[in-house]
């Protein structure tokens, strides 16, 4: 009998049973993904509608702002309820219509306008505990001094000073005002300055992570807390010097402001907390009262009809026309200097890693423009990669070859790569508390080889090349790789000090003596010729005006380079980011589907499972 006589090999299988009710896990992930998709669609739709509305109304709003006349007499009120930043806020997917807050350039130019505006009868600053840094405060203090120099009364008021995030910086700013108000139950928290760092080497050893960082030279201590268990003597000496220099400057400034001795100011600071009555008795305050009390006094002094104008509204008013303006390109270098572009569609522009390329191109564009007479570079950067910093330096050199003077205005920090970029400028301005220098190099990696072993993870690798695993975090540098890495640091350090010597016109012996990776304050940097002058943006404009042969800084117009995007350009850019977001969501969907498929929880997985069983040949 044939083997196949009673067996139908190609028999049609029975209809699969109706699938069972999906499991809770599958229903949960399905609900989660469907909700996420609908939310993304809703956000995209609302964003699109809001942008269209904004674009339609932009022209009329702009015209209305320009035409809105300010009163013939007014009190300008700045409510400092926003962080001080060097760059204007840009639209992003997470914040498509950011609040239009002034950056430091707009703030300083606006205050400079207040100082010479005959319509302004008084200036008020309200502080709200927003974190401030000492360098920005020093620049704002200069602005207040210019207002006071024109006999415009200045008032500052706050519930307290320095409690929470403000610290000593908040009262340091308030001290420059003529009238200092505080609520009767407030307190001045001005405990001094400190620098704290957790040292985690023991912890890394316990978890099996090995840090391998190398430095040129002894004061380049950025990764010291990973390599050691305690602060090195070099780092301690450097930080002590920096804090003492800044602290002494603050004490002297407050003493001069309040008509006190430096010793009496220091004794009050050493108390940590200064209570309201004591602060007034010791001349740290002029008045105890609330906002309503201040308004009443202003009305008595200037009449009840005088209008208080918000500073942001004041900024938007049309400036008086000038006949001899010189356009000066204003180029910002803010954040970590890098050639990498941050393409993460979910990342806000507030913490975007700065690319060196757009700023470098800005120098060439400004240098080649017939409408630009000079360049002011505003640097607020702790450093970055040598390649990116070198691009900025070369851009400055190119502008100078085109006959355009280039000045640098240092903000909070212009150290390491930030100083590298600035070194060939015609003049460098720094504020007393600016942190600069740090002429040195540091680099390395961490290895998790022991951690992987402790977790029983077998990390397999296939490589081509003897050093293909050079940057692998799964293995440490070997001896040959350590030698090669240190050779790279030696070359980079030599390049750095050579550029400082050439750019600053110093003998190499002096550069080597002040380099070593050491951070200097702006005060100290001027004394060792790393910067040319003390001062901020306004001081740089004054000097530039003299260089360009115009009567004053008010004959200079700062023009942003690269130019800010028009609203429609920004809209198109955001649409591109939204397309990236859709691809990102699609990748999440695909990954989630694969996980559910492998777990047998998706519809496709269940169908495949049924078919595999029904079509088995026994």
Q: What is the DSSP letter of 425?
A: S
Q: What is the pLDDT of residue 389?
A: 95
Both 404 and 552 in one domain: the answer is yes
pLDDT tens-digit profile of 76-126?
999 999 999 998 877 665 565 666 789 999 999 999 999 999 999 999 999
Q: What is the pLDDT of residue 123?
A: 98
Both 374 and 422 in one domain: the answer is yes
Q: What is the pLDDT of residue 361?
A: 87
Q: 337 forms bridges with which residues in the sheet?
A: 384
Both 79 and 25 in one domain: the answer is no
Q: What is the pLDDT of residue 3?
A: 42
Q: Which of 263, 292, 316 corresponds to the end of one domain?
A: 316
* Nearest-angstrom CA–CA distance, 345 and 587: 13
* Nearest-angstrom CA–CA distance, 571 and 265: 52
pLDDT tens-digit profile of 143-201?
999 999 999 999 999 999 998 766 899 999 999 999 999 999 999 999 889 999 999 99
What is the CATH number for 165? 3.90.226.10
118 domain-assigned: yes
Two tokens at 537? 């943006």
Q: Which residue has the tokens 């023009």?
A: 559
Both 430 and 475 in one domain: the answer is yes
Two tokens at 483? 């030698």
Which regions of 179-321 does DSSP assign to beta strands (E)? 179-182, 187-189, 210-216, 273-275, 287-288, 307-310
Q: 74 forms bridges with which residues in the sheet?
A: 120, 307
Quick one: pLDDT band at residue 339, thresholds 50, 70, 90? confident
Question: DSSP labels for 496-521?
Answer: HHHHHHHHHT--HHHHHHH-TT-EEE
Both 276 and 137 in one domain: the answer is yes
Beta strands 519-521; 435-437: pairing state: antiparallel
Both 167 and 287 in one domain: the answer is yes
* Nearest-angstrom CA–CA distance, 111 and 141: 11
558 domain-assigned: yes
Both 62 and 79 in one domain: the answer is no
* Longest Cα separation, the chain: 122
Contacts of 84 (CB under 8 A, 6+ apart): 104, 107, 130, 132, 133, 136
Both 33 and 157 in one domain: the answer is no
- State the total domains in the chain: 3
Q: What is the pLDDT of residue 590?
A: 58
pLDDT tens-digit profile of 412-441?
999 999 999 999 999 999 999 999 999 999
Q: What is the DSSP letter of 92?
A: -
Both 413 and 489 in one domain: the answer is yes
pLDDT of 606 > 70? The answer is no
365 domain-assigned: yes
pLDDT tens-digit profile of 452-492?
999 999 999 899 998 999 999 999 999 999 999 999 999 99
Q: What is the pLDDT of residue 484?
A: 96
Two tokens at 106? 């707009």
User: Cα angle at 408 between 244 and 506, to 5 degrees?
Assistant: 75
Contacts of 570 (CB under 8 A, 6+ apart): 90, 91
Q: Where in the sequence is the domain holding 550, given as residue range(s)? A: 326-459+468-568
> Cβ(265)–Cβ(251) under 8 Å?
yes
> Cβ(262)–Cβ(268) under 8 Å?
no
Q: Which of 316, 338, 370 corresponds to the end of one domain?
A: 316
208 domain-assigned: no
224 domain-assigned: no
140 domain-assigned: yes
Helices 167-174, 233-258: crossing angle, 10 deg rounding: 30
Q: What is the pLDDT of residue 14?
A: 55
Q: What is the 3-state secondary structure (H, E, C) of 379-414?
A: EEECCECHHHHHHHHHHHHHHHHCCCCEEEEEEEEE
Q: Which has more confidence, 31 or 540? A: 540
pLDDT tens-digit profile of 350-374?
333 333 466 788 999 999 999 999 9
Quick one: pLDDT band at residue 206, thresholds 50, 70, 90? very high
Burial grade of 445 (CB within 10 A; 0-12, 13-18, 19 or more):
middle
pLDDT of 614 > 50? The answer is no
207 domain-assigned: no
Q: What pTM does this model have?
A: 0.81
* Nearest-angstrom CA–CA distance, 283 and 383: 41
Handedness of CA 500, 513, 484, 234 (dihedral sign): negative
> Rounded to whole angstroms, what are the CA distances from 555 to 2, 102, 305, 329, 490?
108, 22, 34, 14, 47
> Cβ(545)–Cβ(32) under 8 Å?
no
Both 21 and 79 in one domain: the answer is no
**Mean pLDDT of all residues in 238-242:** 97
Q: What does pLDDT average to over the chain?
A: 84
Q: What is the pLDDT of residue 2?
A: 44
Query: What order do you get walking across the sheet with 120-127 strand by strand?
Result: 287-288, 179-182, 154-158, 120-127, 74-80, 307-310
Q: What is the pLDDT of residue 68?
A: 57
Quick one: pLDDT band at residue 580, thresholds 50, 70, 90? low
609 domain-assigned: yes
pLDDT tens-digit profile of 31-80?
666 766 667 666 666 665 555 555 545 444 444 444 458 999 999 999 99
> Cβ(343)–Cβ(349) under 8 Å?
no
* Nearest-angstrom CA–CA distance, 303 and 73: 11
Q: Which has more confidence, 311 or 606? A: 311
Both 126 and 95 in one domain: the answer is yes
Q: Which residue has the tokens 């070099």?
A: 234
Q: What is the pLDDT of residue 479?
A: 94
- What region does 207 belong to: left with phi over 0, alpha with psi -120 to 50, or beta? alpha
Q: What is the pLDDT of residue 89?
A: 77
Q: Which has more confidence, 222 or 13? A: 222
Both 424 and 278 in one domain: the answer is no
Quick one: pLDDT band at residue 564, thresholds 50, 70, 90? confident
Least confident range of 105-119, 275-289, 299-313, 599-613 = 599-613
């Amino acid at each position: 009998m044939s083997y196949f006589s009673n067996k139908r090999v190609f028999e049609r299988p029975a209809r699969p049973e109706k699938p069972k009710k999906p499991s809770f896990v599958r229903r949960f992930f399905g609900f989660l993904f469907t909700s996420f998709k609908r939310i993304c669609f809703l956000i995209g739709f609302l964003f699109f509608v809001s942008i269209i509305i904004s674009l339609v109304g932009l022209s009329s709003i702009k015209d209305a702002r320009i035409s809105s006349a300010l009163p013939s007499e007014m009190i300008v009120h700045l409510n400092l309820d926003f962080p001080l930043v060097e760059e204007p806020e840009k639209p992003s997917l997470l914040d498509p219509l950011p609040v239009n807050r002034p950056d430091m350039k707009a703030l300083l130019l606006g205050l400079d306008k207040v100082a010479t505006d005959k319509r302004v009868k008084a200036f008020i600053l309200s502080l709200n505990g927003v974190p401030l840094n000492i360098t920005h405060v020093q620049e704002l203090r200069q602005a207040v001094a210019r207002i006071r120099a024109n006999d415009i009364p200045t008032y500052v008021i706050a519930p307290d000073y320095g409690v929470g995030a403000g610290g000593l910086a908040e009262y340091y700013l308030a001290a420059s005002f003529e009238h200092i108000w505080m609520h009767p139950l407030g307190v001045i928290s001005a405990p001094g300055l400190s620098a704290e760092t957790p040292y985690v080497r023991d912890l890394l050893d316990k978890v099996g992570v090995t840090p391998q960082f190398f430095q040129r030279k002894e004061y380049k201590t950025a990764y010291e807390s990973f390599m050691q268990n305690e602060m090195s003597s070099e780092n301690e000496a450097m930080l002590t010097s920096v804090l003492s220099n800044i602290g002494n400057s603050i004490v002297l400034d407050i003493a001069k402001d309040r008509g006190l001795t430096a010793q009496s100011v220091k004794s009050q600071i050493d108390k940590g907390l200064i209570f309201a009555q004591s602060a007034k008795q010791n001349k740290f305050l002029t008045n105890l009262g609330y906002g309503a009390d201040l308004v009443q006094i202003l009305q008595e002094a200037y009449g009840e009809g005088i209008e208080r104008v918000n500073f942001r509204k004041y900024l938007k008013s049309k400036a008086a026309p000038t006949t001899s303006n010189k356009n000066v390109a204003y180029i910002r270098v803010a954040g970590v200097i890098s050639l990498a572009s941050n393409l993460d569609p979910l990342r806000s522009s507030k913490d975007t890693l700065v690319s060196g390329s757009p700023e470098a191109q800005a120098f060439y564009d400004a240098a080649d423009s017939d409408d630009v007479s000079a360049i002011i570079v505003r640097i607020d950067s702790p450093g970055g990669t040598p390649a990116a910093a070198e691009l900025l330096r070369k851009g400055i050199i190119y502008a100078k070859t085109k006959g355009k003077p280039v000045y640098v205005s240092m903000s909070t920090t212009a150290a390491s790569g930030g100083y590298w970029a600035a070194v060939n400028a015609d003049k460098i301005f720094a504020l007393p508390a600016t942190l600069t220098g740090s002429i040195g190099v540091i680099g390395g990696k961490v290895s998790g080889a022991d951690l992987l072993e402790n977790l029983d993870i077998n990390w397999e690798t296939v490589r081509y090349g003897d050093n293909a695993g050079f940057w692998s975090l799964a293995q440490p540098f070997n001896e040959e790789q350590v030698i090669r890495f240190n050779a790279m640091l030696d070359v980079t350090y030599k390049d750095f000090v050579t550029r400082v010597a050439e750019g600053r016109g110093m003998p190499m012996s002096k550069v080597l003596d002040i380099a070593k990776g050491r951070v200097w304050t702006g005060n100290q940097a001027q004394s060792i010729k790393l910067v040319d002058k003390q001062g901020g943006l306004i001081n740089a404009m004054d000097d530039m005006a003299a260089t360009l042969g115009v009567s004053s800084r008010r004959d200079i117009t700062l023009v942003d380079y690269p130019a800010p995007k028009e609203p429609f350009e920004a809209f198109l850019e955001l649409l591109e980011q939204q397309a990236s977001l859709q691809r990102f969501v699609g990748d999440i969907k695909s990954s989630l589907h694969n996980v559910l498929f492998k777990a047998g929880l998706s519809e496709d997985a269940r169908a495949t499972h049924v078919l595999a069983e029904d079509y088995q040949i026994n």
